[in-house]
Amino acid sequence: MAIRAVITDWGGVLTSPLNEAVARWLEADRIDADRYRAIMRAWVKAAYDGGGLNPIHGLEDGTLDPAEFERLLAAELLTIDGNPVVAEGLINRMFAAFAPVEPMYAALREARAAGTRTALLSNSWGNEYPRDLFADLFDAVVISCEVGMRKPDQRIFRHAADLLDLPPAECVFIDDIDHNVRAAEAVGMTAVLHTDPDATVAALRELGAL
């Protein structure tokens, strides 16, 4: 079936990699990096594999206020000097080094110019999005905390396809997290695991989405 829509993640696909932004934040705030990584490994594993609620799950589906997430995470962290980490503004500091990936933005514009529909499907961490660009880039926008669902819940993929008025089989989904790619495939989408812009753009061309 022909691909008629491109649905993309935001962080790590339309932005520079998350691990780069986090590394710069850890250095700037002088946070004990090993302690941070141990906490996040446990939280991420529970959010994607455990099936239960945890701070990441709640932050992404909107049941946990971002300020409370900041408090919970800061309480688990220490600086390299053993001092507490400031909770207020933690999320903004964490994502401050995100930079737009212009080849991916160009690909979305090229897709729309060719008549392919486009959508954003993002798990929000309470971060700011460049919403002033959305009208030029997307026919639909799905942000997890605003719809009460999060990837890899299959319902959110179907919701995005419904907003585009297309069956999942006519959509290609791009994400940098394997769990989310497999969930998209489970609902019938073609999925691309994003590793770098050149490879993703090449995959979109091969699929006929550009």
Provide the whole-model pTM.
Answer: 0.93
Task: Residue 139: name the closest of 110, 172, 161, 117 by CA.
Answer: 117
Long-range contacts formed by 38-43: CB under 8 A, 24+ apart = 39/73, 39/76, 39/77
Give the β-pairing of 5-8 and 171-175: parallel
Structure tokens at 81: 């000097």
Question: Tell me: the pLDDT tens digits for 166-205?
Answer: 999 999 999 999 999 999 999 999 999 999 999 999 999 9
pLDDT-derived band at 46 (thresholds 50, 70, 90) equals confident
Question: Tell me: the pLDDT tens digits for 114-154?
Answer: 999 999 999 999 888 999 999 999 999 999 999 999 999 99
Do residues 72 and 55 lie in contact, with contact meaning Cβ atoms separated by under 8 Å? yes
Place of tokens 């009460």: 148
The helix or strand, by DSSP H or E, that contains position 173, with its residue range, turns out to be strand 171-175
Q: Which CATH architecture has domain 5-16+98-207?
A: 3-Layer(aba) Sandwich (3.40)
Do residues 175 and 131 lie in contact, with contact meaning Cβ atoms separated by under 8 Å? no
Long-range contacts formed by 160-168: CB under 8 A, 24+ apart = 160/7, 160/119, 160/121, 161/5, 161/7, 161/187, 161/189, 163/119, 163/139, 164/5, 164/7, 164/117, 164/119, 164/139, 164/140, 166/4, 166/5, 166/117, 167/1
Cα–Cα dist 192/158, whole Å? 17
Torsion over CA: 160, 66, 43, 21 (sign): positive
Domain positions in the chain are 5-16+98-207, 18-94
**171: β partners:** 5
Cα–Cα dist 126/70, whole Å? 10
pLDDT-derived band at 49 (thresholds 50, 70, 90) equals confident
pLDDT at res. 51: 59
Cα–Cα dist 181/72, whole Å? 29
Question: Tell me: the pLDDT tens digits for 70-87?
Answer: 999 999 999 999 999 999
